[in-house]
Amino acid sequence: MGSPPQRADARRNRERILQAAFEAFAAEGHLVPLDDIARRAGVGAGTVYRNFPTKEALFQAVVTVRIERIVDEARALGGAADPADAFYGFVTQVVERAMFNHAVCEALAADMRGFDASGMDEQFTAALDVLLRRAQNAGAVRPDVDVQDVRALLAGAMYMERGHRRGDRPGHMTSLACDALRPTTKRNETSGPRDETHCEICATPLTPAATGRPARFCSASCRQKAHRRKKASPKTG
């Protein structure tokens, strides 16, 4: 039943189902009723079941296709000139893509729920492993993480981006996650907009000044602390 059908129209149906399922699962995850998918695909529910024995199998099929592409990309990057770029770029891109896709998210999820079919998981892990080791070998990734850690981090980054999507900083959590992987000497620090409602040093709420520049500190002693601290690590604003 999972094998591709012979007739042209049947093959077309299968494609349409996969496409509809992709969209539906991407938008709503496992929750979307199968009838909705069938309707989107313009076929009957029975046709879906002819092609995929269960709803879960359909889900698997959908994400397998996606993961296949991702694996392909990972393999393509396996020989890239810059192992660091290859690795971090890959991670970032995967997250970005999955960020808006409930289905891929669930598939690559930390618990890999609903994604152990067809050995795609192993292939993904293996391909990622190559990128990771090359990056580690190049000194771009700390050596004490393994591919499972990275997989988990990937899942976590997707999760964080999905949940804490702040219009202002897309990709911010992913960037943090990547920083967790870097050796200590290299780091991409980015700074967000400053919080003008609390003291930067001790978090005391600030009384907003009616006029003039907003205050940054609650007191002179906090301003002094900030001053001292700035001298100690001058690179971060």
Provide, rounded to whole angstroms, the least separation between the CB of residue 36 and DNA: 7
Q: Which of residues 4-63 bind a second copy (CB under 8 A)?
A: none
Other C-beta atoms closer than 10 Å to the C-beta of 47 total: 17
153 binds, among a second copy, DNA, none (CB under 5 to 8 A by kind): a second copy
145 binds, among a second copy, DNA, none (CB under 5 to 8 A by kind): a second copy
Piece in contact with a second copy (CB under 8 A), picked from 9-17, 53-61, 87-95, 110-118: 110-118
Sign, CA torsion 152/24/19/38: positive
146 binds, among a second copy, DNA, none (CB under 5 to 8 A by kind): a second copy
Q: Which of 192, 208, 212, 234 binds a second copy (CB under 8 A)?
A: 192
Interacting residues toward DNA by CB under 7 A: 5-10, 13-14, 32-36, 42-47, 49-51, 53-56
Interacting residues toward a second copy by CB under 8 A: 109-112, 126, 129-130, 132-134, 137, 139, 142-146, 148-149, 151-153, 155-157, 159-160, 162-164, 166, 172-173, 176-177, 179-181, 183-187, 189-192, 195, 198-203, 225-226, 229, 232-233, 236-237
